[in-house]
Chains A and B, each alone.
Chain A
Amino acid sequence: MRKKVFFRKLFLGVVASLGLIFLLAGCGNSSSSSNNQSSVSAIKKRGVLRVAVFGDLKPYGWVNQDGKRVGYDVTLARQLAKDLNVKVKFTQVNANNRVDALNSNKVDLVLANFTVTSDRKKVVDFAEPYMKVSVGVVSPKESRISDVAQLKGKTVIVSKGTTAETYFTEKQKDVNLLKFDSKTQQFNALKNKRGVALADDNSYLYAWVKNHPDYSVGIKTLGPSSAIAPAVKKGNSSLLNWTNKDIKKLRQNGFFEKAYNSDLKPYFSSEVNSADILINK
């Protein structure tokens, strides 16, 4: 039957075109999978360092009104690329897909305010940290809270799921917590005096206080501080060692101080200084 022949031809045609799509897709980057695509030599050969950054976390990784990527993380990324003598290419990620971006070889390096935790250490390799954060407490200037003892029996405002919530729940049991779902809600609650103080990541509070001069970060650090570090794919020792070496060098020549002054200082209140954020070993 002629019609049957037509169907057979069409079927072959469709299968062939599907195959072609995948073949074309495969040609894009079909080097063998065992090779480390993000080793220092591979990056130099490519001439591009691919970095995952945030696009919406001001002042660490954001986009200014001219469409340029800026921020503390971004400045470090540009410097690392400069030291490698290659161009930099940014891929914007959000908090959830930082690990996936590394594992699927989309990027060589993650510089997206990645806090070092023991769970994350199992899936990626962290380089030398370039910043630190811890829980801070903000309160109105006229009734400033400067010591955690002042909070006993009082109400403190926190956001659900933050390190601040965990810290107060576990370590400061005689403090009452008022929990909210979003940043906007928690700050509104503070303004409406629903609590005597508010606890959150200090790096976030420093920026908020800048625009709310009636408030002050009375307690800058509470509990252990966590490090923020660049991350590479698990097992990529070539890039890891190079990054560690370069960060140590940058620490010595005052690069981080300069980056702090240009990228962070304008957005932080004057009570903050570089020692609160930077790591000087």
Chain B
Amino acid sequence: MVHLGTNILFAGNNFVRLLEGLWTTVWIAICALIIGLILGTGLGILRTSKNRPVRILLRLYLEFFRIVPSVVLLFLFYYILPRQLNLNLPAEQMAVLAFALWVAAEFSDIVRGALISVPQHQKESGLALGLNGWQLFRYVLLPQALVLELPATINLATRVVKTTSLLMLISVMDVINIGQQIIEANRQTYPNGIFWIYGIIFLFYFIVDYPLSLWARRLAAKQH
């Protein structure tokens, strides 16, 4: 065999391990997004409420998750909270929890923005028809807001996928972590392995994220 750098990708189970790492990455991102989007919708609607304390509380929640860097957030959830509150979860679940709360915070702002930009006459027409609060949101505001918030939501989703690369800091076996194992295991025999491994990881992230960003662009174009 030629001593090619590509050999490192297919030696033993290396490629399958990288795919497993990618699956961990994608799975955590999907779980966090599902929980975060549901919670975020609720929070976003509440942020349009007339109740001042509620609005301030939710604003604080949003700013906290927006300002605190994701790395700090992950450390907080994985190392510091368990010590204080004595709740000890596997790293993957902690990651989903931290990311879900982050997504909820960011999404609440997207939802709020979308709800506000639904034209006022739509809301008034709904009220004139005798719809109650729930019906007004369910049949008038949310369907129109959904269209408005989609591009920003997909953008958020791609950011979540990218941010999972920080998970290696809390011992989650994501694709980057496994890539590094392979690089270090072969450092002496394949000094250029780092190039191939990070190359394939780049490709993985691209395959996951690019369709999302294409979709976002198409949706954005449709609105104009």
- Name A residues whose Cβ lies closer than 8 Å to a Cβ of B: 2-7, 10-11, 13-14, 17-18, 21-22, 25-26, 28-33, 37, 55-58, 62-67, 91-94, 97, 100-101, 103-106, 207-208, 210-211
Contacts and interface: CB of A to CB of B under 8 A. Distances in A.
B205 interface: no
Interface stretch (B7-15, B145-153, B154-162, B213-221): B7-15
A105 B82 CA distance: 8
A9 to B, nearest CB: 8
B85 A26 contact: yes
Chain B at the A interface: SS class: helix
B79 interface: yes
Given A3-B132, A91-B171, A29 B88 contact: yes
Interface string B78-89: 111011011111
Given A6-B133, A6-B137, A58-B185, A26 B87 contact: yes
A25 B12 contact: no
Nearest to B11: A65
Nearest to B8: A65
Nearest to A59: B185
B212 interface: no
A56 B85 CA distance: 32
23 contacts: A3-B136, A4-B133, A11-B49, A11-B54, A17-B39, A17-B42, A26-B85, A29-B86, A30-B87, A31-B86, A55-B177, A58-B185, A63-B178, A63-B185, A64-B12, A65-B11, A65-B182, A91-B91, A104-B78, A104-B79, A105-B83, A106-B91, A208-B188
Given A14-B43, A26-B87, A104-B78, A65 B12 contact: yes
6 closest A-B pairs by beta carbon, nearest first, are A65-B12, A6-B133, A56-B184, A3-B133, A29-B88, A63-B181
Contacts of B189: 211
